[in-house]
Structure 1
Amino acid sequence: IHSHFKQHRSSAWGGATCLSLNGTGNEDENPYLKSVVLYHYLFGYELPDTILILTESGMCYILSTKRKCEFLNSAVGKAPPGGSILGVTLLQKNKNDGNEENFSKLMKEIQLDQGDDNSKVGVIMKEVSKGKGDTNGKGKKNLVSSWEDILQKDKVDMVDVAPGISLVMSLKDELEIDMMRKSSVLSNKVLKHGFVPRIEEVIDNEMSVTHEQIASEVDGMIEDPSKINLKVPKEHVESCYFPILQSGGTYDLKLNAQSS
C-alpha cells in the first residue's frame, strides 16, 4: 500500500501527503465498508474505532485501545528490511485528556511530513462522518469521529483515497489467486448441483418458497458442501456474503443488495 501510494500519489491517491486509514465500523454492522475489508487485509481482523496514520516518509502510527495495541505490538520494530515502511508506533487511547496529546502528536506528524500547513490527508471519504460522528453508546463521540473533528477544525484538506485502496487490493498473489480459483469452483458446483435443482423443484411442483428461504438453503450448501455430496471439509469453507436471490425483471447488482 505504501509503495503504491508513493508511486501514484498524484493520481489514484488524490494527491494526498499522508493517509488516515481509520477503522470506522465492524463486520456485523456493515461487512461492505472498505475500512473493514482493508483491516482484514492488513491484520486479519477488524479493528473498529482505530486510527491508522501512514506518512509519505514511511512512518505508521496506530491509535487504539490498550487491548488492540497489545494485539498489534508484535509489529513494532519488525518493519520488513528493504521495504518503504520505516516503523510502527502504537498510541494508546487516553480517556483522561480526551486523546488531546495523541491527536496533537498525530497532527504534528502530518504537518512535519509535508513541511508546511497545506497537508492533504487521504481518507475513505464515504466513511467520514462529516460532524455527525458515531457515539460510543453514552452520547459521546467515538475515537475516529473525534479525530475527524480535529481534522475539520484545523481545516485540513481531506481527499478521497478509496480508488487507490481498491487498486492495491485488486492485485493478488499466488495464494490469493489459488483461493479465488477454488472458491469459483465451489460456487459453480453449488449453483449446478444445489441451486438449479432446487429452483427446478420449486417451479415443477408449484411450491411457494420465499427467496430468503432459498438463499438460506444455498448458504447452507456453501458452509457444508457435503449437502451436495462434495468431499470438502466444512471447516475449510466460509461464505463471504449471504446469497442474494432476485426475480421479477428488476435487479440490484450492488454488493449490499438484498433478496427481493
Structure 2
Amino acid sequence: MVSFVRLCTVALGLVLPISLGAPAAPAAQADGQQAVLVDAEIGGKSIRGRVVDLDPERRVRISLHVKNDSVQSLDVSRIRISGSVLGMTFYSYDVDFAFTVSPGESASRTMEIDIRDLVDQAVGLMYARVELLTDDRNALGEVETVVDVHGSPWSILGIFAIALLVLTTLLWVNVLLTLAGNRLPSNRFRRALRFVPAGFGTGLVAVVSLAMLRIAAPVGVVEVPLAIGCCLVVFVAGFLTPSPPE
C-alpha cells in the first residue's frame, strides 16, 4: 500500500512541471515586437477573448487572418489546432494547408475540420491554440483562446479526472492513517511535507473539475494559484498537526 502511494506521489510530481510550463512564444522581431500576427474566426467572430463552442457533431469552419511584419516570407505548411488542461494536450488536429505570406503583406484563408472524434477526447473548458507550422513543424505564429468542448464525460479527459481523483484519495488515506497511527515525523517541517503531495493532488483535481463543470477555464491564472494554494494550505495544516507521543 505504501509503495503504491509513493508511486502515486511520483506520478503527481511528474504533472507539476508540465502544468506550470509555459507555451512556446511566437516568432518575434529583434526589437521584441511580434513579427507574425495571427487571428482566427469561428462563426464569423474572432476567437480571441471569448469561449468558443466546439460541437463534435458539426464541422468547424475556421477563417485565418495572417499579417507578416517580418523581413522574410512566411511559408506555412500546416495548421495545428490543439486543446490542453494542466499543460497536457488532450486533442490535436494537424491539417496540411500550405500558403505563403510575403513580407509586409497580409493573407486570409478558410478551412473546415471534421472533429467528430473529439467527443471521445475531451469535455468542458480547455485552453486551446491555433498554430501556423512550417514543414518541420516549427511554430510561426499562434492565437490562443478557451474552448467549450461538448464531449462525453467518459472521454480521455473524463477518465483522466477519475484517475487523478483516485490517486489523490489514496494519498489522503495514506497520510491520514499515518497521522491516526502516530507514525508521522516528530519534526514539524518534515511532518508538513508529508501532506504536500495530497494537497497538490487536491489542487489538480480542483482545476480539472472546475474545467469539466464549465466553472473556470484551465489557464495559468487558475491552474497555478489553485495548485500552489492547496499545497500551502495543506502544508500549514500538516505543520499544525499534533506531534506524535514520545
More helix by share: 1
Normalised by the length of structure 1, the TM-score is 0.30
Normalised by the length of structure 2, the TM-score is 0.31
More strand by share: 2
